[in-house]
Structures are given as structure tokens and as C-alpha cells.
Amino acid sequence: MAADKPSSKGQAWFCATGLPSDIIIEVDDMTFHLHKFPLISKSRKIDQLIEEQGKKSSTVTVTKQKQRETGNEIEEEEEETEEYQDQQDDEEEDRYQISLQDFPGGSDAFETAAKFCYGVKIDLSSSTVVPLRCAAEFLEMTDEYSEDNLISKTERFLSQSVFKNLKASIKALKSCESVMTLAESLGIVERLIDSIALRASSTDPTLFGWPVNDGIVEAKGTSAQALWNGIETGLRRKALARTSNVESWFEDLALLSLPLFKRLISTLKRRDLSPEVIESCLMSYAKKYIPGTSRSNRKPSSSLAAAITESEQRELLETIISNLPLEKTHSSSSTATRLLFGLLRSANILNSSESSKAALEKKIGFQLEQATLDDLLIPSYSYLNETLYDVDCIERILGYFLDGLEERNAAGIEAENEGNNDNIINSSRLPALMLVGKLIDGYLSEIASDANLKPEKFYNLAILLPDQARNFDDGLYRAVDVYLKAHPWIPESEREKICGVLDCQKLTLEACTHAAQNERLPLRAVVQVLFFEQLQLRHAIAGTLLAAETAPMNAGRLSGTRRDDDEEEEQQQDEEEERVAMSRGEQGSTTWRVAVRENQVLRLDMDSMRTRVHQLERECSTMKKVIQKIEKENPRGSGWRGSLNKRFGCKFKTQVCDSHESTVTETRRRRHHHHQE
């Protein structure tokens, strides 16, 4: 039976078939004026309700007739009024009125079910099929009652369209929140969660990674090669389409309520899904509902995040932290680390549990080399900390990083002992350590200007890294200099302790020159710097002399070798044709002239270099005698620098490293690199 197009007026819904309605059904605040025969042909529930209401109306009619038979004498006008009222009552009794309380899916789901009863074609979607399936269950629209009924129709759509698609399953799971009780009893929620876990595990794992924007950039970068004369090819479009699908997958997942999201994550972990997928899901959900995860955007990313209370945000944050994989994932990047630091700031603001903070700090420590200086600047939210930034937190994170390096190093040694030649762990240890060393030096320079920073905290954080973390101590020297400048009141013993974190042998000549003239350094530190600066100059001079002696010998060997080669070539060319012999002879003579010219230039350079080296030796010897004489006369005097300048006649920079400063620095770096190899 096909019906005309239905219409709704205010809070009433009518089916325009040309026949007066004989049943009124109330669902929520909507009144439906319908016909009982289309409804009872599909719904056993409505048929039973109409039958029950019919029995009640017949009982009321019999009661009224008995009252009229046994009543007293009534006037004629009253009899006419009663007859008219009975007529109205009979008409109302013919129109059934049914109220459906707590109808699953509300008035929208009942409207769709009513259209199905009238034979109107209905359009199913992943967002509406679950409420409609629950409505059909409530109305008992089974195939046993009527062939090809609504329950079987919705079940086919779930099996053929929803369970086979990841995004559709997530949208359907979201729609279960309004009909959770009935959807749970029907097993729809469990089936949808299993479907999402299955589809997520079979998806390309390279698509999951943080951040999602990095995936877009990577897709654009790789697909940019798939351009031919500026024309976009199919490979580029496919890469961008796949990345866009991953973005929408995360956006849909973030719409789930926290209880459903927790159940989904638990199922994903039980199925041993890759940590990259689980971490990406958690971080995407956190970005949507937890404000302050990014310094660039302090406001919440959705209106839902602004609506939830502080306790709900704390529960959500602790849930995300407890489910994060502790190990470092392959998708870890600077953006993922930045989000972890954002979660740590939010945990401090929301006063999360200490266990949650510790787990998050440990997770950050395993990928600290991906962090930036801005990430480490975590403000102190506690009144117990006097410093501007939370130095204790960074010290704990650095400790977790070093523990992780030791574990990876131990694992690499065990693998080597077992005969495994995989040295990936050992090869990646030093670069990560050096990156963190540079990062910590920058952090020390940033916090050194804090007047409330105690010398013990600065010292403990500076010595926490091993010697292999720094090739040069110039960054650490800068932090020490800033700290001494910002804390002029600390005693001499504390100054010497702070300067004790420096390794003067790792200071470049530029840093040594600056330190020798630094009034803030204690005298012992300056003497050490001067000593090692002289030692560096001595090694540099020795290296220069060695190079000057070996260069002429190499040039003589080269010229002699070239002469022998030319003679052999001339003997072979005599046996060949005259034209080829002449061309080869001209080329050989040209090569010989070039070699002789280069040899002459090299000899002149060596002579000038030897003269300069002798001058440097005399200057160094004079400077050493003057320094020893000054130390004997006034070893603790305050004006020793002025006396040195007055007696010596010029400053250190002019005498020590004026002519060949860059050459000496380069020689030192090459020597240091050769020593490391």
C-alpha cells in the first residue's frame, strides 16, 4: 500500500492518503495521525496495543448502556444532549490513541518506521540504521509477523554496508549513544567495535602516524615527483586521497563518547594492534577535547571540549595517558613529542595523579631527542617551586632518556654476543645523545637568568649528561656565563663548583679567548683555560710543521711519478701513428708544466708558513715567561690582567689567534674527528 507524501504541521504529523486517520500515536512531543491497518500489518506491538485498547473501549460502552437503563427520569432536552455526547464519544472511541513512552530513536525513528509501514521507500545511512534497528525491535517488526520486515532490512544494511567500512562503523557506533541500552542487548555495540578493530588492523600501517599534517606534507612531497611537465598524475591524487581518508577517520573517531572510546581502545589493545595506531587514536582524541595541548592554540578545538567539566577533563586525560604505549613508536616525530609535552602541561594544570604524570614523563623521555627548546620550557604551576620553569620535571625526563639509552645499549650488546650484526641501536645512540646534549645546553642557557635558580639545581642538571653528549662545551660555557652574570652574589666556592662542569679541553679557540678575558670567571678557571689554550696552540703548531715537511716530499714524489709515466707513454706512442703521437705528446708537456708551476707555488707557501711558525713559537715562549713571572710576584692579586697587558704590550687575541685563528681551529677539529674514529 503506497501512501501520498506525508506532511507535518507544528508538532503533528499527517499522512495525506485522502482518508481520515483512525489512530493517533504520541512519541515524545510529536503526534502522528495515522491509519491502523498499515501499522498492524507490519508491527505486532501496535496490533497488541490496539487490541488492548479495543477491549477497554467496549467495556466502557457496556457500562454506559447499563447506566442509561437503570437511570432516573430525565427531561427531553437532557436526553437530546446525552445522545449528542454519546455520538461524540463513539467517534473518539473509533479513533485509537496510543502513547509510546521512551521510544528508541525518538520521533525521527518512529517516523521512518511509519513510512516503511505505508510502503514509502526509506533511505538508510550509517548514522540512522542503528536507531531504526532498535525502533523495529521495539515495535516487533519481525519476518515471522510480516515478510521482509524492517528488522531484516536494517540487519542486511548493517552486514553489507556498515560492518565492511571503517568510517561507517564509527558513525554507527556514535549513533548507538542515544539507544545504548537496547543496542547493547542486541549486540550491535560489540559487533561495531569488533568491526572497527578488524578494519583498523587491516589498514595500511604507514598511514597512521603523528602528526596527521606531517602525513599530508609527506604525501605531497612524494607525490610531487609524480608530475609530468606540471601535469598532476594519478599517483599524486591517490596519495592525497589516502591521506585525506586517514584524516577523516581520526575526526570521526574523536566524536565518540569517553565510555565508548575506552571500550574501543581496550579492544584494539587486546587484538595486539600496532602501537602507532593506538597512539594516533589517543592523541587525536586528546587534541579535540583537552585544551592547551598546543601552545599555538590554547582554546579548545571544539565546543564539546568547552562544555565538559574539569573533573571530566582529568578523567579523560588520565585515560589517555594510561593507554599510551610506553615504548617509542616508529611514527614518533617532533609534533608528536610536542603534543606529549602539551598533555604534561595539562596534567599539571588539572592536578592529575602522580602516576599519570610519571608515565607521561617516561614516555617523553624515550623520545626526548625529538623535542625542541620551546617544549622543555614548562612553567612551574606549584607554589612549592620558586623557579620560573619546572626544572625538576626536565631532570626526571632526562633521567628517563638516559635509562632508555642504557637499556638499548645493553640490548645491542646482547644482540652482538648472540651473533646478530644488527648495530642499529648502537649507531643511533650517539646521534640521539648529542641532540639531547645540545638541547639541554640551550635549556640551561634559558633558565640560567632565573634569579631563584639554586646553584645545586643548575649543577646537577649540567653534569647529568655523559661526556659523549658534547663534542664541544661552548654551549655549556655560554650557560655558565649567563648564570654567573645573573647571580653575582654567590660565593667563590659556588662559582668554582659551577665552572667545574666545563671541560676546558672541549672549548674552541673562540670560547677560550672569551673565557680568558671574562671577569666573572674565578681565577682557577681562567688559569685552566689559558693552560689548555697553550696546549691547543702547541698541537696546532706541531701539526702545521708536520704538514710543511711532508708537502714537498709528496710534491716531489708526484712529479717523479709523472715523469716516469710520461716516458712510458712516449715509448708507446712511437709505435703508433704520427698524428696520435703528436697530440699525446702535447698533452703530456702541458701536464708537466702545470705540475712544475704548482710545485713552485707550494714551496713559496711552505717557506712563508715556516717563518710564521717560528714567530709564533717565540711569542708563545715570551708569553709563558711573563705569565710565570706574574704568578710568582702576585699569585692572588686582583690586577694581574692589567699587569699582564702592561708588561706584555697587547691583549691575548692579538698575540695568540690573530693571523691563523681559523686555520688552527680547523686543524683541531680534524684532529678531534680523527681521534674519535
pLDDT computed for residue 74 by the predictor: 45
CB 602 within 8 A of CB 552: yes
Burial (CB < 10 A; 0-12, 13-18, 19+), residue 638, is: exposed
Residue 474 φ then ψ, to 5° = -65, -40
CA atoms of 518 and 333, how far apart (whole Å): 40
Answer yes or no: are the C-beta atoms of 648 and 626 closer than 8 Å.
yes
Position 250 scores a pLDDT of: 75
Whether the predicted pLDDT of 406 surpasses 90: no
pLDDT, average across residues 239-253: 59
Average pLDDT of the segment spanning 241-267 = 77
CA-based nearest residue to 150, from 248, 41, 243 = 41
Digit-coded pLDDT (tens) for 360-388: 999 999 999 999 999 999 999 877 778 89
The residue-averaged pLDDT of 511-524 equals 87
Does the structure show a pLDDT above 80 at 446? yes
Mean pLDDT across 131-151: 94
H or E element that contains 139:
none
pLDDT exceeds cutoff 70 at 573:
no
12-14 and 23-27 strand pairing: unpaired
- Exposure string over 148-163, b if 16+ CB within 10 A, otherwise e: ebbbebbbebbeebbb
Residue 393 φ/ψ region, left for φ over 0, alpha for ψ in the -120 to 50 degree band, beta for the rest? alpha
Question: Which cell numbers in the block locate residue 369?
Answer: 631527542
Per-residue pLDDT reduced to its tens digit, 522-539? 888 888 888 887 777 777
Q: Could you give the 3-state DSSP secondary structure of residue 105? A: coil
**Cα–Cα dist 421/404, whole Å:** 21
Element (H, E) at 185: helix 180-185
Q: Domains plus CATH for the chain? A: 11-64+95-162 (3.30.710.10), 378-411+427-547 (no CATH)
The C-alpha cell that represents 613 in the structure block = 711558525
Q: Cell numbers at residue 453, please?
A: 635558580
Q: Report DSSP letters for 571-627, one per residue.
A: HHHTTS-HHHHHHHHHHHHHHHHHHHHHHHHHHHHHHHHHHHHHHHHHHHHHHHHHH
Report the distance separating Cα 307 and Cα 313, nearest Å. Answer: 10
pLDDT confidence of residue 112: 93
- Mean pLDDT score of the chain, rounded to an integer? 75
Q: How many CB atoms lie within 10 A of CB 657?
A: 21
The C-alpha cell 604505549 sits at 325
Check whether 356 has a pLDDT greater than 80: yes
- Percent helix, strand, coil in the chain (nearest 5)? 70, 5, 25
pLDDT tens readout for residues 607-633 = 677 777 777 778 778 877 877 777 777
Cβ-in-10-Å burial (0-12, 13-18, 19+) of 348 comes to middle
Q: Please give the Cα distance from 548 to 562 (Å, whole number).
A: 22
CA angle 487, 441, 660 (to 5 degrees): 95
Pairing of strands 30-34, 12-14: parallel
Query: Which are the contacts of 247, defined by CB distance < 8 A and separation ≥ 6?
Result: 212, 216
Nearest to 436 by CA among 379, 372, 485, 496: 372
Task: Give the pLDDT confidence score for residue 614 in this predicted structure.
Answer: 75
Q: What is the pLDDT of residue 385?
A: 78
Percent of the chain with pLDDT over 90: 35
250: CB partners within 8 A, 6+ apart: 212, 280, 281, 284
For helices 509-516 and 661-676, what crossing angle results, to 10°? 120
Predicted local distance difference test score (pLDDT) of residue 164: 92
**pLDDT value for 596:** 55
The 10s digit of each residue's pLDDT in 269-294 is 888 788 888 888 898 898 888 877 76
More confident residue, 202 or 64: 202
pTM for the model stands at 0.67
- Tell me: the pLDDT tens digits for 304-315? 555 678 888 899
Q: By C-alpha distance, which of 560, 554, 550 is closest to 592?
A: 560
Highest mean predicted confidence (pLDDT) among 106-115, 333-342, 410-419, 555-564: 106-115
CA dihedral (616, 618, 621, 625) positive or negative? negative
310: number of Cβ within 10 Å: 10
Rounded to a whole number of angstroms, the CA Rg of the chain reads 43
The residue-averaged pLDDT of 129-141 equals 95
Per-residue pLDDT, 565: 55
- Asked if residue 73 has pLDDT above 60, the reply is no
Sheet strands (E) in 466-533: none
> Residue 415's pLDDT is what?
58
Within a 10 A sphere around the Cβ of 389, how many other Cβ atoms? 18
Q: What is the pLDDT of residues 7-60, one digit of tens each?
A: 554 477 676 666 777 888 999 888 888 888 889 999 999 999 988 876 555 544
pLDDT band, very low/low/confident/very high, at 430 (cuts 50, 70, 90): confident
- Per-residue pLDDT averaged across 329-358, rounded? 86
Higher per-residue confidence, 405 vs 3: 405
Three-class secondary structure of residue 8 per DSSP: strand
Calculate mean pLDDT across residues 316-341: 83
Which burial class, exposed, middle or buried, applies to 179 when counting CB atoms under 10 A from its CB (0-12, 13-18, 19+)? buried
Higher pLDDT, 230 or 179: 179
